[in-house]
Amino acid sequence: MGLIILIIWFSLIIGIPFGCFGSYERTLLSVQKQKALFVFGDSLFDPGNNNYINTTTQFQANWSPYGESFFNPPTGRFCDGRIIPDFIAEYAELPLVPSYFEIGKDHFVHGVNFASGGAGCLVETFRGFVIDLKTQLKYFKKVTKDLKNKFGRKKSKQLLSNAVYIFSAGNNDYFNFDATYPKHEYANMVIGNLTSVIKGIYKEGGRKFVILSLGPLGCTPGSRALNFQQGNKSGNCIQQLTTLAKIHNSALPKMLKQLEQKLPGFKYSLFDFFKVASERINNPSKYGFKTSKTACCGTGPFRGIYSCGGKRQVKEYKLCKNVKDYLFFDSGHLTEMVYKQVAELLWNGTVDVIQPYNLKSFFHLPA
Active site (catalytic) residues: 43, 330, 333
Supply the pLDDT for residue 196.
98
Sign of the dihedral defined by the CA atoms of residues 300, 302, 308, 311, in that order: negative
pLDDT of 320 > 90? The answer is yes
pLDDT at residue 366 in the model: 84
**Whole-angstrom Cα distance, residue 182 to residue 260?**
28
pLDDT tier at 272, thresholds 50, 70, 90: very high
If one compares 232 and 117, the residue with the highest pLDDT of the two is 117
In this prediction, residues 225-231 reach a mean pLDDT of 93
CA dihedral (222, 98, 38, 114) positive or negative: positive
List, as one string, the DSSP characters of 197-208: HHHHHHHHT--E
Cα gap 269→346, rounded to integer Å: 9
Q: For 44-96, write each residue's pLDDT tens digit.
A: 999 999 999 999 999 999 999 999 999 999 999 999 999 999 999 999 999 99
Region of poorest pLDDT, from 32-36, 198-202, 257-261, 311-315? 32-36
pLDDT of residue 114: 98
117 within 8 A of 14, measured Cβ to Cβ: yes
Taking residues 342-357, report their average pLDDT.
97
Q: Please tell me which residue, 30 or 12, carries the higher pLDDT value.
A: 30
Spell out the domains of the chain, with CATH numbers in brackets: 34-216+241-274+332-362 (3.40.50.1110)
Assign 10 a pLDDT band (cuts: 50, 70, 90).
very low
Note the pTM of the prediction, 2 decimals. 0.91
Q: What mean pLDDT is reported for the chain? A: 91
Cα separation of 318 and 296, whole Å?
8
What are the distances in angstroms from CA 8 to CA 52, 141, 144, 365? 20, 31, 35, 41
Q: Is 310 left (phi over 0), alpha (psi -120 to 50) or beta?
A: left
